[in-house]
Amino acid sequence: MQYLHTMVRITDIDQSLQFYCDLLGMKEVRRKESEKGRFTLIFLAANDDEATSSEQQAPELELTWNWDPEELTTGARNFGHLAYRVDDIYATCQHLMDNGVTINRPPRDGHMAFVKSPDGISIELLQKGDPKPSQEPWASMDNTGSW
């Protein structure tokens, strides 16, 4: 068995690509549009997974955009979350925060943070290697909302 991808439904392609690609640094590796099914599939890979994605089409995040409007109500905790390892948890969170993303669970421990995508999907960010030493403003920042 091989893990291939996780699919999440999105409501706005541009907003989602700005979050996942521009802010989190993922790369769009392929796209499929289905006139008959009235949907667009966009496959993303994390930087460190790009070569493997190219060779095996895995591991990837599949963004599914249905052309007919629909209300998405299941992006909360019942889905769980996506998790990504990052080189610098503090720099990643600062970059996201500088671009209007709420840090729902700040990296007070220098190891883990949670944010949400534009469609309410929880994203866990984990520090690569050992936790970073605790530092402000993260150490005293309160949780915001849910994750």
Active-site residues: which are they? Answer: 124
Closest C-alpha among 93, 79, 80 to residue 125: 93
Two tokens, residue 9: 């439904």
Residue 48 CA: distances (Å) to CA of 21, 37, 143? 13, 32, 29
In the beta sheet, which residues pair with residue 100?
none
| Residue 136 · residue 144 · CB < 8 Å | no
Two tokens, residue 116: 């949400």
Between CA 84 and CA 126 the distance in angstroms is 6
